[in-house]
């Protein structure tokens, strides 16, 4: 069975909270997910474009994204891949989302519905390891991604701080 949902952790584990996407992906490896889900870690790079060429019904990106919220806040944003102004949530990882989606369109491919599971970082200025509020948000994000993968509405709540 070809996976129809791609769950992609993006970020840079050498930049503190920017390692959030990879941490969530590691925890998802042991989660109860349906067989139609492919989980991948796309730390610092554009390999995601190659995987998306195969086409997916849904693409779930996981990243630390500054949005002005309280550190550790997990949110889900729907990204319009066809929009001319795609948010540059992963621009610091060597990926430009607008360029990825434009290339897919040129190739006649589709990322499907694109969702961003975002966590408000406390710090993304270097160092290894997540800050306490972002570390606690990993549990929430795993549950949110699992709900999304199964097609349910995610339950969003703050991690205990």
Positive or negative CA dihedral for 2, 143, 112, 84?
negative
Quote the percentage of the chain above a pLDDT of 70.
Answer: 64
Helix 132-150 to helix 20-28 angle (10° resolution) is 50
Per-residue pLDDT tens for 100-151? 666 666 666 666 788 889 999 998 777 788 999 999 999 999 999 999 998 8
CB 119 within 8 A of CB 156: no
Cα 26 from Cα 126, distance rounded (Å): 20
Where on the phi/psi map is residue 129: left (φ > 0), alpha (ψ -120 to 50), or beta?
left
Does pLDDT of 36 surpass 60? yes
In this prediction, residue 101 carries a pLDDT of: 66
Q: Which residue has the tokens 């319009």?
A: 80
Per-residue pLDDT tens for 4-28? 888 888 888 888 888 999 999 999 9
In this prediction, residue 159 carries a pLDDT of: 47
Cα 138 from Cα 145, distance rounded (Å): 10
Least confident of 28-37, 78-87, 109-118, 149-158: 78-87
> How many Å is the Cα radius of gyration of the chain?
15
pTM of the model: 0.78
């Amino acid at each position: 069975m070809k996976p129809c949902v791609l769950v992609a952790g993006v970020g840079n584990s050498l930049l503190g909270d920017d390692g959030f996407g990879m941490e969530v992906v590691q925890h998802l490896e042991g989660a109860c997910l349906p067989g139609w889900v492919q989980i991948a870690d796309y730390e610092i790079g554009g390999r995601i474009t190659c995987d998306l060429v195969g086409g997916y019904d849904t693409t779930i990106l996981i990243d630390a994204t500054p949005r002005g919220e309280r550190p550790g806040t997990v949110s889900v944003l729907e990204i319009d891949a066809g929009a001319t102004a795609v948010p540059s949530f992963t621009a610091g990882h060597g990926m430009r989302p607008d360029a990825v989606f434009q290339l897919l369109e040129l190739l006649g491919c589709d990322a499907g519905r694109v969702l961003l599971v975002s966590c408000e970082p406390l710090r993304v200025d270097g160092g290894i390891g997540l800050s306490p509020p972002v570390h606690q948000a990993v549990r929430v994000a795993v549950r949110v991604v699992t709900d999304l993968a199964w097609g349910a509405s995610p339950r969003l709540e703050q991690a205990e701080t």
